[in-house]
């Protein structure tokens, strides 16, 4: 960009501000000044305590900003005073709908520093549980999506079918929401007998659920007219704001860490597809997530057939001391890229942990995407961006 | 063939589900009257086998929110063999778990070197007062009856070393 361009840009911006001020004066004269609408912190559409401050001009949003931090729990700081095994139980609670997926990057980062690798059986089971948590997370999104637009039925379907997946996770790990099953060097325990057959039956049910949601919601004319062409995020804007996961793929960027980023996990042992959508609107984001749930059931099915036998724990000392160093590992979590930057000083616990969670970046595009939309579309766009408050505030 | 409107298709799905619910029964369970059995691995409540505990404090130290309180003292016990020295035995005075703080992570059960702590899938122990959620060793001992056998493992799993 040349200097003249920048000056011209500034001039244009000044002209814009002046015209806005003129409009405001006009509004004062006509007594139709804008109003500020506070959505949240307690609002069913915010999945927790997110506050959206929207300045309206009639029915249109002039300016909107999400105000985060109402649920800040300080996990980065809490992790500094805990040992490595204790941290996994904390990071479970970041994205509470897909909690097993939160443990994996942290454990992988610690393993990278210790230079141990989980045995193949542990990698397989890890990947299966990772994908199950993705299914549990995204299937709830698919139901919740309907509720945000006034359709109550899909959420009952979603809760019914998510329960099957949660039962599986509980059967294997012992915890429905907070498995705490990953250990440095492997897993806590092996799978109980009969779990594989049960999982296969549930995956079949989940595929039926995906078909049902497609008929119930995605084919519905009201749903389509409320989401198609609403909240369009173009490719370059999505990349600039650092979107990840399905939000980025819905803008037409073929990007998936599971495929692109080699990790000691078993994704490359299954045959699956990364779905993208060229539109970048709310519908595209929802559609990509629906396809992802289907792909995840396929990954689980394929990996279940090929679980190698063997140990589930590598040889690690009983008291874990991670050697000095720094490591960054990120994985493709249900919501997008989630990564941990672990700094170790050779002690029992990490010296510093930086958590990159997907929702924080996904919600940061909201001021851009919400500008100029109508009030009911705020909820639709936020729902389709899909964030979890624990994942934003950490 | 004309395209079926999406709304009609959606109604078909709900009708199908209605038919399924009427014929096969509902998925929901009327809780206080019927109960679902949690899986054997479910982490409901921690049981304490008092005889195995040596008050070594490993569980209390490894708890991520430090909700286990242990106090103990040493006592002299009669010697095992005739004419030997009296043995020193750890006596457990207090073993409390504050379930109002517990995160149900299971680290204490895992680190226990003497198999004194066990998970049981029991879950009905809510209290009207939060202070009553502090279970002492008598109450933790009562849970021992409900500890299930560890489930068999899936094919291909390595046998646990004992």
For A38-75, the pLDDT digits (tens) are 887 776 666 677 888 888 877 888 888 888 888 888 88
Judged by a CB distance cut-off of 8 A, whether residue B36 touches chain A is no
Mark yes or no for CB contact B153/A222 under 8 Å. Answer: no
Range 106-125 of B in CB contact (< 8 A) with A? 106-107, 110, 119
Residue of B nearest to A85 (CA): B107
d(CA A77, CA A99): 19
Judged by a CB distance cut-off of 8 A, whether residue B83 touches chain A is no
Query: Which secondary-structure segment (H or E) carries B48?
Result: strand B45-48
Contact A321, A265 (CB under 8 A): no
pLDDT of residue A44: 64
Residue for token pair 């099957």: A164
Question: Could you tell me the domains of chain A?
Answer: 65-393 (1.10.645.10)
* Helix-then-strand count for chain B, H and E: 4, 5
Q: Tell me the pLDDT tens digit for each residue of A258-298.
A: 888 888 888 888 888 888 888 888 888 889 999 999 999 99
- Helix A84-91 × helix A99-114 angle, to 10°: 150
Q: Tell me the pLDDT tens digit for each residue of B98-110.
A: 888 888 888 888 8
Please list, residue by residue across A172-197, b when 16 or more beta carbons sit within 10 angstroms of its beta carbon and e when fewer do: bbbbbbbbbbbbbbbbbbbbbeebbe
Global ipTM: 0.82
Query: Which secondary-structure segment (H or E) carries A352?
Result: strand A352-356
Q: Predicted confidence band at A4 (pLDDT cuts at 50, 70, 90)?
A: very low
Interface test with A, best of B64, B118, B122 (most A CBs within 10 A): B64
Mark yes or no for CB contact A178/B110 under 8 Å. Answer: no
Residue A238 has pLDDT above 50, yes or no: yes
**Min Cα separation B5/chain A (Å):** 8
Q: Tell me the pLDDT tens digit for each residue of B32-50.
A: 888 888 888 888 888 888 8
pLDDT of residue A9: 63
Q: Predicted confidence band at A32 (pLDDT cuts at 50, 70, 90)?
A: low
Please list, in sequence order, all residues whose beta carbon lies within 8 angstroms of the beta carbon of residue B99, skipping any fewer than 6 positions away: B45, B67, B125, B133, B134, B135
DSSP code of residue A374: B
What is the reported pTM? 0.84
Residue of B nearest to A188 (CA): B110
Among residues A378, A145, A134, which one has the least CA distance to residue A257? A134
pLDDT of residue A65: 85
d(CA B118, CA B150): 10
Query: Mean of the per-residue pLDDT values for chain A?
Result: 84
| Token representation of residue A228 | 């198609």
Query: Mean of the per-residue pLDDT values for chain B?
Result: 83
Least confident of A45-49, A253-257, A390-394: A45-49
* SS3 label, residue A20: helix
> Of A82, A195, A220, which has the smallest distance from its Cβ to B6's Cβ?
A220
Q: Tell me the pLDDT tens digit for each residue of A335-391.
A: 888 889 999 888 888 888 898 888 888 888 888 888 888 888 888 888 888 888 888
């Amino acid at each position: 960009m040349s200097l003249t361009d920048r000056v011209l840009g500034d001039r244009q911006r000044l002209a814009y501000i002046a015209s806005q001020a003129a409009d405001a004066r006009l509004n004062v004269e006509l007594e139709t000044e804008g109003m500020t609408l506070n959505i949240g912190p307690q609002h069913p559409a915010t999945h927790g305590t997110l506050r959206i401050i929207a300045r309206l001009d009639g029915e249109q949003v002039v300016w909107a900003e999400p105000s985060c931090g109402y649920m800040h729990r300080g996990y980065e700081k809490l992790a500094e005073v805990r040992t490595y095994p204790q941290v996994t139980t904390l990071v479970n609670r970041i994205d509470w709908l897909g909690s097993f997926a939160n443990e994996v990057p942290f454990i992988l980062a610690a393993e990278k520093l210790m230079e141990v690798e989980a045995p193949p059986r542990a990698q397989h089971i890890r990947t299966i549980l990772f994908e199950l948590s993705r299914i549990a997370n995204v299937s709830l999104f698919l139901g919740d999506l309907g509720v945000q637009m006034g359709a109550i039925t899909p959420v009952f379907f979603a809760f019914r079918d998510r329960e099957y997946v949660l039962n599986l996770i509980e059967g294997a790990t012992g915890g429905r929401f907070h498995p705490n099953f990953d250990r440095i060097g492997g897993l806590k325990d092996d799978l109980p007998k009969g779990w594989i057959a049960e999982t296969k039956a549930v995956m079949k049910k989940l595929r039926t659920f995906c078909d049902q949601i497609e008929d119930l919601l995605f084919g519905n004319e009201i749903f389509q007219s409320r989401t198609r062409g609403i909240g369009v995020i173009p490719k370059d804007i999505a990349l600039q704001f650092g979107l990840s996961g399905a939000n980025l793929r819905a803008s037409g960027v073929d990007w998936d860490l599971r495929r692109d980023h080699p990790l000691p996990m078993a994704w490359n042992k299954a045959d699956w597809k990364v779905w993208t959508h060229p539109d970048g609107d709310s519908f595209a984001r929802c559609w990509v997530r629906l396809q992802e749930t289907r792909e995840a059931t396929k990954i689980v099915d394929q990996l279940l057939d090929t679980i190698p036998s063997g140990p589930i724990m590598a040889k690690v000392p009983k008291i874990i001391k991670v050697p000095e160093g720094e490591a960054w590992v990120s994985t493709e979590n249900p919501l997008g890229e989630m990564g941990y930057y672990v700094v170790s000083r050779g002690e029992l616990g990490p010296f510093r942990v930086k958590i990159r969670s997907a929702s924080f970046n996904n919600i940061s595009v909201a001021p851009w995407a919400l500008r100029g939309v109508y009030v009911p579309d705020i909820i639709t766009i936020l729902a389709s961006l899909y964030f979890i408050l624990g994942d934003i505030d950490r | 063939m004309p395209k079926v409107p999406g709304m009609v298709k959606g109604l078909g799905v709900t009708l199908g589900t209605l038919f399924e619910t009427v014929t096969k029964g509902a998925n929901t369970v009327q809780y206080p009257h019927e109960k679902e059995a949690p899986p054997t691995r479910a982490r409901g409540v921690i049981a304490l086998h008092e005889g195995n505990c040596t008050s070594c404090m490993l569980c209390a130290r490894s708890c991520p929110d430090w909700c286990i309180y242990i106090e103990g003292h040493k006592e002299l016990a009669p010697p095992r063999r005739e004419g030997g020295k009296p043995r020193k035995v750890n006596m457990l005075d207090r073993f409390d778990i504050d379930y109002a703080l517990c995160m149900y992570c299971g680290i204490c059960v895992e680190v226990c070197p003497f198999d004194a702590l066990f998970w049981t899938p029991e879950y009905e122990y809510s209290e009207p007062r939060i202070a009553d959620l502090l279970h002492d060793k008598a109450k933790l001992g009562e849970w021992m009856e409900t500890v299930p056998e560890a489930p068999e493992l899936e094919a291909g799993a390595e046998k646990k070393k004992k």
